[in-house]
């Protein structure tokens, strides 16, 4: 049972599915570096202000001293969330006292592609392992299974093959086990 119910992690719900509508010349994607443990507070404010954002949340289960399993929802990338808007809205966010810094994303299309893949991994309920830094490896595309079409890098951790999906701009990502999934190498 969750300590608190899961909050929405994206606003609006179809934000990542309609990037062409957000490609106005005045709108940009930003990686917001929050102060420690302020990601959800900032997301709540952005929802109240109807500002477009995405904060990838994943469940974390802990056992209490009494033996009960508790689920909390924590950011996949601690101290980071993503915002799409104009310069005036960015300034409004900077005045919240939740923000440590703001980085403009140079390639919005690539960021949206990466975030769509991360969202798909989270929605699958597969156990995710956050990956802080990306090591070089073979780029692959999954040919079959529930993640067909996804692209990532194969890494080896604890003698197991894993698929690493990266948000390139942050140089962070998440990985899942590649047990029964067939992959094909991507050239280039």
Alpha carbon distance 56, 74 (integer Å): 8
Task: Tell me if 1-123 shares its fold with 126-188.
Answer: no
Alpha carbon distance 175, 86 (integer Å): 32
Query: Which pLDDT does position 98 carry in this prediction?
Result: 96
Q: What is the pLDDT of residues 20-77, one digit of tens each?
A: 555 556 789 999 999 999 999 999 999 999 999 999 999 988 888 999 988 889 999 9
Alpha carbon distance 67, 69 (integer Å): 6
CATH class as words, domain 126-188: mainly beta
Q: What is the pLDDT of residues 109-168, one digit of tens each?
A: 899 999 999 999 999 988 888 876 655 577 888 877 788 888 888 887 777 778 888 888
> How is the chain split into domains, by residue range?
1-123, 126-188
| Residue 158 C-beta-side C-alpha neighbours within 13 Å | 5
CATH assignment of 1-123, given 1.25.40, 3.40.50, 1.10.3470, 3.30.70? 3.30.70
| pTM of this prediction exceeds 0.85 | no
């Amino acid at each position: 049972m969750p300590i608190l119910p899961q909050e929405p992690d994206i606003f609006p719900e179809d934000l990542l599915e309609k990037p062409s509508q957000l490609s106005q010349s005045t709108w940009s994607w930003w990686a917001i570096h929050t102060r420690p443990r302020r990601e959800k507070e900032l997301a709540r404010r952005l929802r109240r202000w109807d500002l477009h954002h995405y904060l990838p949340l994943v469940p974390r289960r802990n056992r209490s001293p009494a033996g009960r399993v508790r689920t909390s929802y924590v950011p996949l990338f601690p101290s980071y969330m993503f915002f799409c808007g104009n310069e005036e809205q960015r300034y409004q966010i900077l005045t919240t006292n939740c923000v440590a810094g703001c980085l403009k994303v140079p390639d919005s299309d690539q960021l949206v592609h990466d975030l769509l893949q991360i969202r798909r991994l989270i929605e699958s309920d597969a156990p995710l392992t956050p990956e802080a830094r990306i090591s070089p490896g073979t780029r692959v595309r999954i040919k079959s299974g529930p993640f067909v079409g996804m692209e990532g890098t194969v890494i080896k951790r604890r003698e197991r093959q894993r698929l690493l999906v990266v948000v390139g701009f942050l140089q962070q990502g998440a990985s899942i086990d590649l047990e029964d999934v067939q992959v094909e190498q991507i050239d280039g």
